[in-house]
Structure 1
Amino acid sequence: MNIRTVLVASLIADLAACTASQAPIRNAATDTVATRPLKVASWNLEFLAEKDGAGCEPRTDADYAAIREIVNTLDADVVAFQKAENEAAAARVFDPSRYTTVMEKRPGAASGSCGGKQPGQQFIRQAVGFAIRNGIAFDRNPDVTALQLGNPQLRSGVDVRVRAPGHQPTRLLAVHLKYGCFQGDRAQACGVLQQQVPVLEDWIDRAAVGSDRFIVLGDWNRRLAEPADAVWTELDDGNPANADLRLADEGVTPRCDPRYRSFIDHIVFDRRAAGQASGFAEATYAPGQKHLSDHCPVSALLAD
């Protein structure tokens, strides 16, 4: 069985439990029409390049086709994605007939060689973005450039407000925080991450007093669900009231890579969204099969 078949089968199993199409459904008992939940997802695509063979995870055309099939089977309404080179790279896996992509405006020109398992390969730009299902209206807010801390190689946050048919508006922030400070505060990267946290908290606090529910999602590079995690404690302070946050993956053990017991890819709901959220899922690869990315997609549902 090839990786495409394995992962698509896993995704179909997830989708059987929770689907998120925007098509209306009818309740036979009451003869009323309801809107299906909004499905939001996040996926770090690991050096998704515009051209075959480029970047630190060189891929073939067949690999891109397989990733696109995964995206189509995931069938999310909004996907926060990380580590894509540019809009052309994103379009290779997010079918433009289905999705509109929005990416951070930071130039982020990459330099240097990949080394390690890919000697001779060159780094590509690693950018954050959203793929938004066509037919869902959205507004783009300014990128959260303060997350860069003045360093062009750190990522901005991408901030949008989506207005899906049948749903109240939802504000979404896609992030990809500093790599290397997964827990505690002793790793070399922790000093940078600790500077990003107040920036993120400021965005959360401002959004918390706004009129729209909000979600922060992406690759946090931090095991927020670990007991008494300092980053989570600082962010989830309930002040303002809507900054009482909820981790979608709370109580769930990841299956993507057996080496890791906690997620670093998170979907975080504010107090308003948390009361309408459900259906957290992770799409996984089969043991021994090729991983098309070193991360697996995570998703959750949001009712009106």
Structure 2
Amino acid sequence: MRYHRLMQRLFASIAAAALLSGCAGTLPVSTSETPLKVASWNLEHLAARDGQGCRPREEADYALLRRHADALGADVIAFQEVENRAAAERVFDPAKYEVVMSTRPESVRGPECRGLSGRHIQNQAVGFAIRKGVVWSRNADLSALALGNPNLRWGVDVTVTRGRPLRLLAVHLKSGCNSGRAPTDPDCPVLFEQGPVLETWIDDRARTGEAFVVLGDWNRRLASRGDAFLAEINDGEPAGAALTLAGGGRQANCKARYREFIDFIVLGTNAAERLEPGSFEEYVYGAPETEHPSDHCPISVQVRR
């Protein structure tokens, strides 16, 4: 058994290396019987043009992101911190993916970029990259998540309809309140105002019996024992609204300094019943942190159709 596991890991490493070297230019073929691989990836200030934004990149950097996107091998990727469709399509090749962007108007100029004097945070949008051949439809964006603030992100809502329907909501919640609930912290009250908006969406899906997943950058250590934010949205009512954190208490390995996830794939009851056991993965870049193409690593699960 140990030898079998070692050989599996060896073959997986060889396959990943082939993808990153450009030997494999196509995504895995998926059928209606194979599980749907769903992922989330914060792309860290992804701008549309070279040299722009708080994380200036050149063509080689975009090419590296494209190779990682292909190596991830997901059918649906919820992404965050992307300036616009043009930026997304520099990573998710339009020949392979359909890009679905938030319809929120571009945000006003944000605060100054950390460590880059004179540069300011650009529009940060949420969206999906959906592999060609996956059948899907769009639902109205969850604009209420912005709380009327033009700089807070909307949720993007799609339904994948090949096999049994699966409702997916991509989110990027307020940053700055990753644990606790300090009333004097200006970020925590905002995050906790977003909670009831999210809970309403969850409860509405549960009442209609939908299988649903909420995924993205929650900016919150939801897996911490007794997390107050998770407790508020996960009261188990109505039936079907009980939430499962994919990966449970797994330790994050993307960055040595941060061992708790803030990116999560959260499943409602019906979706959790279709979750492939042991399918949660954190995709690590296989390079020193200083060479990571984003400050977040993708996470993914497989859901039976």
TM-score tier by shorter-chain length is 0.7 to 0.9
Question: 1:233 Cα shift?
Answer: 1.1
Output the amino acid matched with 2:114. Answer: G
On the 8 A contact 1:51/1:89 being kept in 2, the answer is yes
Contact 2:113–2:121 (CA<8 Å) still a contact in 1? no
SS of the residue 1:71 aligns to: helix
Gaps of 5+ in 2: 1-11, 20-26
Identity across matched positions, percent: 51
1:126 aligns to 2:149 (yes or no): no
SS across alignment from 1:114: coil
Task: Give the Cα–Cα distance (whole angstroms) in 1 for the partners of residues 209 and 155 of structure 2.
Answer: 20
Q: What residue is the counterpart of 1:12 in the other structure?
A: 16
SS in 2 for 1:64: helix
Cα contact 2:155–2:170 (8 A) shared by 1: yes
SS at match of 2:53: coil
- For 2:156, the equivalent position in structure 1 comes to 158
What whole-Å deviation, never above 9, does each CA across 1:163-191 have from its counterpart, x for those lacking one? 13xx2110000000000000101132001
Structure-2 separation of matches of 1:10 and 1:140: 37
Report the equivalent of 1:295.
Answer: 296
Please say which of residues 180-189 and 148-157 is displaced more in the overlay.
180-189
Structure 1 gap ranges (5+) = 1-7, 25-33
User: Which residue is equivalent to 1:5?
Assistant: none
Go from structure 1 to structure 2 and tell me whether the alpha carbon gap of 1:149 and 1:106 turns closer, same or farther (over 3 Å shift): same
Aligned counterparts of 1:137 and 1:62: Cα–Cα separation in 2: 32
Equivalenced residues, count = 281
Mapping of residues 1-304 of structure 1, within 5 Å: 12=16, 21-24=28-31, 35-112=33-110, 114-164=112-162, 167-186=163-182, 187-278=185-276, 279-285=279-285, 286-304=287-305
Distance between the aligned counterparts of 1:55 and 1:68, measured in 2?
19
Q: CA RMSD in A?
A: 2.0
Q: Read off the aligned partner of 2:217 and give its amino acid letter.
A: D
- Structure 2 counterpart of 1:81, one-letter code: F
| Distance of 1:115 and 1:96 partners within structure 2 | 30
Query: Residue type of the partner of 2:300?
Result: S
The Cα offsets for residues 239-296 of structure 1, whole Å up to 9 and x where unpaired, read as: 1111111000202100001212211000001111111213000011333541111100
Runs of 4+ displaced beyond 6 Å: none
State how far apart, in whole Å, the 2-side matches of 1:192 and 1:115 are.
21
| Contact map agreement 1:84 1:90 (CA 8 A) in 2 | yes
- TM-score, normalisation: structure 1: 0.88
User: Structure 2: how far apart are the matches of 1:55 and 1:11?
Assistant: 33
Relative to the length of structure 2, the TM-score reads 0.87
Q: Which moved more, 1:92-101 or 1:210-219?
A: 210-219
